[in-house]
Structure 1
Amino acid sequence: MKEKSDFSNKSDEKIAELVQKGQIQAFGILINRYEKKLTRYARKFLFKNTTDLDDILQNIFIKAYKNIKSFDLKRKFSPWIYRIAHNELINHIKQKKPFFFPGFDLDVFWPHIIQENDFNDKIDRQIMRKNINKALKQLKPKYREIILLYYFEEFKYQEISDILKIPISTVGIRLKRAKKLIKLIYHEEK
């Protein structure tokens, strides 16, 4: 049996290949690499601290393990596992309505939407944060998810296309529409 240190310099795709070939202990490395990322993604996707989060993550990794043989080694691993996470989170939302969207850090989400000099004081910034939060809450899930994947998870258009199973052009269109809708809703709230 190989030690974990033997896996540390291997790509996710190489580790997935080892798992496909029967080295099941290598899957633990993928779990270690993706647990925090998928937890962050799930929290932002669900927008609440849910008691179901551990169960959701467990289901994501179980499905990834069960379907690892279907992973195409010519592709990147991260969009593949995020697609599994996407499906699992959509299923969770369908089972658990209503949808809740908490606050977030504007500087992380949209650093270019408003310049720092647009704020007179801390209270104005808090009001803006609240208004943008309301705007995001009003977005359809297909637009909200594009925002999450692009701004929070920092995926490229091609990776988002792979995760959502939509053409790259649709990714660009949805992102543009989402930003336009957020600005429109935000300015109506002002």
Structure 2
Amino acid sequence: MSNTNDHYYIEQVLKGNTDAYAYLVQKYQDMVYGLALKMLRNEQDAEELAQDTFVKAYRSLSNYEGKSKFSTWLYRITYNSCVTFLRKRKLQINSLDDSKLSDQDEAKIQSQLESVNKEELTKYLQKAMDKLPGDDQVLITFYYYEEQSMDDIAGITNLSVSNVKVKIHRARKKMYVVLKEMLQEEVYSFL
């Protein structure tokens, strides 16, 4: 039904009722801002980029073909705008080396995390997410938190499905490295 509502408002905007666009902005502003904030890690930049995204989407609305959900199309615009913004700023993001973690280490961390209560687990996972580069955070969020399909993520990011799978796998490995370091620090703080 929500997709139908989107199409109704899109048609209204295309027919000249520009006020109808306010519905789409209101419905998706948190989604667009959230994605921009995850990637840019700066509230002001995220706000500015979110506004620019809605302006770009408005100007390109006639190009929206309806083959994907409107939210997917809007995610794609937001994601691409963030990538362009980051390239312009030439932001250096430290990458974590996934070769630091063996399969045994990953299993050990998984076991430790299973013994942690849900509230603590959420805290650990959020801290680990915050330490990932923005694009890794976005992929993890799309797949695990927003339950987007690999096909949808590929459509949003303009990556192949196999590339999305590889990047999500690597992002998970990076999270395990961060979690391993956090758990080791906690053990040392108890000693």
| TM-score of the aligned structures, taking structure 1 as reference length | 0.69
Alignment of 1:75-114 (within 5 A): 75-96=68-89, 97=91
Aligned-pair identity (%): 26
Deviations 1:76-95 (A, max 9, x none): 11110011111121222233
Gaps (5+ residues) in structure 1? 1-7, 101-112
The AA in structure 2 aligned to 1:57 is: A
Rate the CA distance shift 1:17–1:73 in 2: closer, same or farther, 3 A: farther
2:29 corresponds in structure 1 to: 35
Deviations 1:119-146 (A, max 9, x none): 7xx7x997x5697257x43x5x553431
Rate the CA distance shift 1:131–1:24 in 2: closer, same or farther, 3 A: closer
Whose helix proportion is higher, 1 or 2? 2
| TM-score of the aligned structures, taking structure 2 as reference length | 0.68
Deviations 1:39-75 (A, max 9, x none): 2222222234x22333211100000000001101232
Q: Aligned residue pairs: how many? A: 164
Q: Structure 2: how far apart are the matches of 1:125 and 1:148?
A: 13
Rate the CA distance shift 1:132–1:69 in 2: closer, same or farther, 3 A: same
2:149 corresponds in structure 1 to: 156
Rate the CA distance shift 1:12–1:148 in 2: closer, same or farther, 3 A: same
Gaps (5+ residues) in structure 2? 95-109, 185-191
1:73 corresponds in structure 2 to: 66
